[in-house]
Structure 1
């Protein structure tokens, strides 16, 4: 009777233990297995099946030690026959999920599937806090606008300023993610949004609300650009869906929790404290990113000159124009910047500067 295969976490632990060197497993033998598994985790499923069939010489859907030995011998992974036999036994033990000394296709595929990177968790938390912060505005912002005697049209423009800022900052933020790296945006994005939240807590006029929402939108654009690129960097072909799932899940969770939290805090603490609470959460998110998230962009790309960083300041410039010349002029400026940045990036793609292998 076949023993059920282990869960993903248990299989990963089993593989890691098999790769550990010791008296029974020489370093050279363990290195052969480690290199093989490292190659497999980058393959798409169709290519992985091809590699499995290369091992499975008799096409019975099972890899045994003899087949593993013949494959390792034909590919020259070991320097002598004795090492090849020991390496074949070690490879089968690492891939074998039920301990029967043979490797099926399902076991082969499961062992070669990398676990989701643990760095997904702080990014997940950052995105949830970012979307919760935006969701908190929904019940609180109308009350705040009413307290400032703003019209319905003014409230609409204030609400639109966040999305306009995100729109104009999306392309420049993606550009900076390729120039500076992902980590700076994951740190600066929540921090800028937190400043915008504090601005809403202290707002006393229409212009203050617009400027604060522009800062929130710019911060969200930066955080999303950094997060999406970071998740793409740490994902593998067969765990990409699991790794990038937080991008959508965080938005759904944030927009579900945010309005409820905002309504409760507004009712019991007043109009300012919901925004202060959000600012504190975003600040904590920024600090967490600084402590837990190393850069994933290679140093060659990080050293590239930041020639286009000024485009990210367009949202702040639009806010200044809104205060000095009125919101319609600011909207025209935002639209012009978006068109200009889109044309620029169409002519000069930022990805050509990346020198990753």
Structure 2
């Protein structure tokens, strides 16, 4: 095996996405930074997991990586070049190589269109001749485990797992090189989750797809991902090889997340319980945004916002990386 590092396919540099909230009864509005200065790279053929509590900015980041949302600041590089301007021929060509798998397959599909027509639609958009499109649809349905007799059915006639397979087949129609999977199994039963996760892993291995896998389910992320980035309040607080991050988390927030994953015979022992809810993004705490909930916070954490720095083969943003942190049993 070559020691050459995999080539970077997509890179985010200083991404910021902010929204202005509606004015209140008192005429006040506020600015919310859903994504706050993200630097991230996705390499060819790898699966990068993005985890964090609800409202941490995971889905917003995923849409920005695909160019579905323009950043307020920063840029996304696709194969070393800035993402083309929307609606241009260059943008359409790059979009064929980048697709998204959404959380709710029923909402992502048109209930008035048959399964075969939905899978064929991206091919029609990109000018594939009808005969080739029909052959490609049949190939894709077989690839994701759908039967030929299901081609003429409508989304409501399929199970949740089958609908998710349709969404995956549709995303694969244009032979993409990069997928963003936004909570793709959260709405499915556990047994169906395993089938879909195994399918995505097979596709990654067989076709060399690169993926960003967004999820709050740490067990699934640990099973499927090569690397993982942990987000809190719009920022990445830890990023590195998945097995190292899960077996030896360095940031207190990551440690709390990992400790919350149920283990046989564990009970509540060894759990790091976080107090309170994540802060309002419109009223960010000074210093480290995690310090109001952090069991390892020191006075400096309220004043200094730590940078995401390399530490023992990974990146983490904590003033106490070299100090004593609570252990995860």
TM range (shorter): under 0.3
Ranked by relative contact order (alpha carbons within 8 Å, sequence separation 6 or more), the top structure is 1
Larger relative strand fraction: 2
Larger relative helix fraction: 1
State which structure, 1 or 2, has the greater radius of gyration over its C-alpha atoms: 1
Task: Please give the TM-score of this superposition, normalised by the length of structure 2.
Answer: 0.24
